[in-house]
Amino acid sequence: MTIPNVTMNHCQRKALCLWCNHHVEAGEPMVTVFFWNRGTPSHKGFNVKRYYHPQCWVEQGLDYLKRNPYVPYQRKKKLELTREQSKQRYSLLKSKASIDQRKRNLANEPNNEVAMVALNIKIAGLMIEIAPIGGIPKKWLDLHI
């Protein structure tokens, strides 16, 4: 495992810039990248130092990013379901929606507790069914509709 550590200092001794292949002269600002290789129990680790002009360090970083384009963080994993599973999932979503509707209708009625619990138990059953085919939709976890 390699842990890079990046510092910027005045160059003490002239060093070759890894990016442009020209020397960083003593007294000039210089970026030092220090890789600390832990090694393994059987192989001793070793340290590697690389030197860059500050602007070369930025250039190589931008170059790296250009070669590794930005990929937006995916919040939702795409569902990979068979046609049959998609149908099942859709039918479970519909069942849930109709139970939600019944819960809304019940909400204003007196002594509705038992009926509400019964509907929530049905929802729990739907959760168990839908979990293996794409997962439980997040909003299902809110039973207080």
Tell me the C-alpha to C-alpha distance, in Å, between residue 69 and each of 16, 65, 77.
Answer: 29, 6, 20
CB of 54 to Zn ion, least distance (A): 9
Burial of residue 95 (number of CB atoms within 10 Å: 0-12, 13-18, 19+): middle
Of the pair 19, 140, the CB lying nearest Zn ion is at 19
CB of 68 to Zn ion, least distance (A): 21
CB-closest chain residue to Zn ion: 17
Which among 45, 8, 15 is positioned nearest to 29, based on CA atoms?
8
Count of positions on this chain that bind Zn ion (CB under 5 A): 5
What sign results for the dihedral spanned by CA atoms 85, 96, 142, 124?
Answer: negative
Query: How many C-beta neighbours within 10 Å does residue 45 have?
Result: 12
Residue 89 engages Zn ion in binding (rule: CB under 5 A) = no
Residue 20 engages Zn ion in binding (rule: CB under 5 A) = yes
Exactly one of 11, 31, 56, 119 binds Zn ion (CB under 5 A); which one?
A: 56
Please state whether beta strands 47-52 and 15-16 pair in parallel, antiparallel, or not at all (unpaired).
unpaired
Residue 18 engages Zn ion in binding (rule: CB under 5 A) = no
CB of 28 to Zn ion, least distance (A): 10
By CB under 5 A, the residues from 36 to 55 that bind Zn ion are: 53
CB of 43 to Zn ion, least distance (A): 32
DSSP 8-state secondary structure symbol assigned to residue 77: P
Query: Which positions lie near Zn ion, rule CB under 5 A?
Result: 17, 19-20, 53, 56
